[in-house]
Structure 1
Amino acid sequence: MTTTQSGTTQTGSSVIGGPAQVLTDDEITRFVREQLDARDLDGRSVCLVIPDGTRSCPLPLLLSAVHGALAGRVTRLTALVALGTHAPMDEAHLAKMLGYAVGGLEERYPGMTVLNHEWWDPDTFVSLGVIPSTRIAELSEGRLAQSVDVRLNRAVVEHDVAIVVGPVFPHEVVGFSGGNKYFFPGVAGQAIIDLSHWLGALITSSEIIGTRGITPVRALINEAAAMIPSEKLALCVVAQSGTGALHAATFGDTESAWAAAADVAAETHVRYLDAPVTRVLSIIPEKYEDIWTGAKGFYKLEPVVADGGEVIIYAPHITKISETHPEIYEIGYHCRDYFVKQWDLFSDVHWGVLAHSTHLRGAGTWDAEHGERDRVRVTLATGIPEDVVRKANLGYLDPSTLDVAAFEADGETFVVPNAGEVLFRLR
């Protein structure tokens, strides 16, 4: 086994592990304990902001370590699931994700409360204030200029300390996920979600995904996070995609810990091809239960597909486009310019829905004379009925006729198992 490295970054966050390493459970537990022991948390209330089931992350290990370090020290411990606008997690899903028997939360994590982010309930939120339009114009580099009410789940504000606990991956909206993104959009109100996602869509997924450093969307998120009155810390991890193993863990404030983890993720979760491919078979794991989340299997592959090529999303288990966003069934999937150049028709649709639409359709153009011309074809081989798929402006392939082995052997198809977390780029 590779010797584990640990230390402190120039910005002050602590780091254990690295791109070529795999940490043991004992190393992770010890690291978490050391970091939390060194913090002034006695007699304070703590809100842990954690991912939902769509991320590879050994949450039982991490939460057990955090709980072990904080139980008896803090006055209140709450774990808040950062759903964004994903479907809520029921008891069975929460138990599986957090590693306890159904009904056995108190036995596994005595004294800890677990909450879904109830984004559909207005009483969930408290306003932190308004970011004015002039500042939005600066942060977005001139792409948008409107004020936004920054609303956040009140559970974060009603605790003394908020600790983000979760993984960092290349991300289609912000560049790399994690850090303050767990607040915005993770447990945020609709307005800031829509604004941040539409900003990412204007830049385009293929342009921003896997971009290191402070992208315009990350700058907006950090601006909003600075308004949170609670102390903000982060335990960021870089997971081995599809497994419970960790390459690295970082701890510190939400910006420096995120940056250190993103540096590792940029080496472990970005792979390079020498030449573009004409067809991709993107095999979607079952943790993605609809296209709204499973579309990551397109985002992470679009950059390596040749003009005129095709991405086949293979997910027989997926039977719906979205459980929580019916608007997508009406507008379908289109490139950015389809909406921007017909803005009077679409400006009232949630911008987060428009953003998702453009992310899955990919790069393209639209004008009144020629209509929409998309760079690549997107085909769904899922359990969604053909008429629904075609109405959404996507191609259809009957999943029962798809032979993965034949695609692997044809010499023309790039087959990607467990798609959705590793980003592929051209050198």
Structure 2
Amino acid sequence: MNEIYLTNETSGISPAEVEKCMDELLAQYPGLKKVLIIPPDFTRCYSYAGELTQVLYKKLSPSATVHVMPALGTHMAMDAEEKEKMFGRVIPEEAFLVHHWQTDTISIGKVPQEVIEEISGGLYSTDIEVEVNEKLIHGGYDLILSIGQVVPHEVVGQQHFLDGKLPLVYIQTVTTLKDEEICLNGLYTGPSRKPFELAVELSGRLNICHVERRAKKLVTYLDPYELKTTWVGNKGIYRTRMAVADGGDLIILAPGVKAFGENEEMDNMTRTYGYKGRDYVLKLFNEGAFENRIMAAAHLIQGSSDGRFHITYCTRPENLSKEEIESVGYQWMDYEEAASLYNPDTLHDGWNTLDNGEEIYFVKTPALGLWKVD
């Protein structure tokens, strides 16, 4: 197909340009009978994927069977409120498919041990199974549209398993917030790796925030509608950790966080082992503590400061109590008390000086970037 690349770093790409792009894309696939759209879930609500999914569903559904399967990964399924907020009322409930990551995936290959050893610096040495939802392989789809936000992240996909084997087209977005509204700055569409590479280049300019010095105190906010567990809320840690000073404080305002894991199994694992550092978790992992739940060990590692700085989770005690937060290795503060000191409604992104003269660095939306000191 003719790939389509749109970039507007300043004012953003307009809805009319988005419509034209999707028309040009679909014109290259006439006669479609069955289509699968894979957008991210609500934890990527700033991705513009909800708007794109609505546009595509409207264009495709009159003549084709269209299913929408949010890419949950290990996250919990989207509820009705999240679906409405992200996809409007455009997509009927019966069109949604749920990805049950523990029961309906199939293997498509392995990442070899030598590759894992190289990229982990020798810390991890084994093959890793690569699995996808079986509907991608056996669903009988004429076209699979993978909509994804490209933003600095701790994991990326591999090109070795799907290239040329599925009717797969990527729709990659790069977004920012402009006056509290999502601004679509990049839209790259095609079956090759090029859309991802172009999106990475733009995201590197727009989504990596270069801070001139590390903050002794960094405060970040987790939107209660977007982030309800530490499993997803810990982007407040791994997106900001490089901007926190040694011995400093990371304060996480988490009014909606009610659990550690996205399901009971992962919640129990977090409560059992806690966020207590890489070496601690690797030792447990090598002793077989996590069985085949590699992602649980990885999550616990990236949710720790490794003792370099202090992490304080500010929750409502009826959601997660002081005792629960402290049991997994964090410090705790009551959300209302913390919000009176660090009001997320009045602080602005970047450096702030509080009434008491204290200087803090504030990150309102950790999902949209990566903060680092050069």
Instruction: Give the TM-score range, shorter chain.
Output: 0.7 to 0.9
Q: Does 2:263 correspond to 1:330?
A: no
Equivalent pairs counted in the alignment come to 350
Question: Could you tell me which residue of structure 1 aligns to residue 250 of structure 2?
Answer: 311
Q: Deviations over 1:181-200 (max 9, x none)?
A: 5xxxxxxxxxxxxxxxxxxx
1:387 corresponds to: 323
1:3-402 alignment, distance < 5 Å: 13-37=3-27, 39-55=28-44, 56-72=46-62, 74=64, 76-100=65-89, 105=92, 113-120=95-102, 122=103, 124-133=104-113, 136-137=116-117, 144-157=124-137, 158=139, 159-171=141-153, 173-174=154-155, 218=157, 221-226=158-163, 229-241=165-177, 243-253=181-191, 255-286=193-224, 287-324=226-263, 325=266, 326-342=268-284, 343-344=286-287, 346-348=289-291, 350-362=293-305, 364=306, 374-383=307-316, 384-402=320-338
Check conservation: 1:33, 1:65, Cα contact below 8 A. no
Distance of 1:415 and 1:139 partners within structure 2: 32
CA positional deviation for 1:307: 0.7
Q: Is the 8 A contact 1:48 1:77 kept in 2?
A: yes
Q: Indicate yes or no: 2:358 matched with 1:415.
A: no
Question: Given that residues 41 and 73 in structure 1 are in contact (C-alpha distance below 8 angstroms), is that contact kept between their aligned partners in structure 2?
Answer: no
1:396 to 1:349, Cα distance in 2 relative to 1, 3 A = farther
Distance in 1 between the 2:230 and 2:66 partners? 34
TM-score by length of 2: 0.84
How far residue 32 of structure 1 moved from its aligned partner, in angstroms, is 1.6
Which secondary structure state, in structure 1, belongs to the residue aligned with residue 159 of structure 2?
A: helix
Q: What do you get for the CA RMSD once the two structures are aligned?
A: 2.7
- Specify the code of the residue in structure 1 equivalent to 2:204: A
Shift of 1:127: 3.1
Gaps of 5+ in 1: 1-7, 107-111, 175-180, 182-217, 365-373
Indicate conservation of the 8 Å contact 1:84/1:119, yes or no. yes
How far did 1:82 drift?
A: 0.4
**Hey, what's the Cα distance between the residues in 1 that align with 2:210 and 2:13?**
25
Per-residue CA deviations over 1:70-93 (Å, capped at 9, x if unaligned) read 34554x322111000111112332
Residues 93, 314 of structure 1: CA spacing in aligned structure 2 closer, same or farther, 3 A cutoff? same
- Aligned-partner residue type, residue 358 of structure 1: I
The superposition leaves residues 363-407 of structure 1 with CA deviations (integer Å, 9 ceiling, x where unpaired) of x3xxxxxxxxx1111111112201011110111112222222598
Q: Unmatched 5+ residue regions in structure 2?
A: none
CA distance in 1, matches of 2:82, 2:237: 25
Task: Compute the TM-score of the two structures, normalised by the length of structure 1.
Answer: 0.75
CA 1:143 to 1:331, structure 2 compared with 1: closer, same or farther past 3 Å?
closer
- Deviation string 1:114-161 (CA, Å, 9 cap, x unpaired) is 2121223x2x22333445545655676755443344322122112233
Amino acid corresponding to residue 268 of structure 1 in structure 2: L
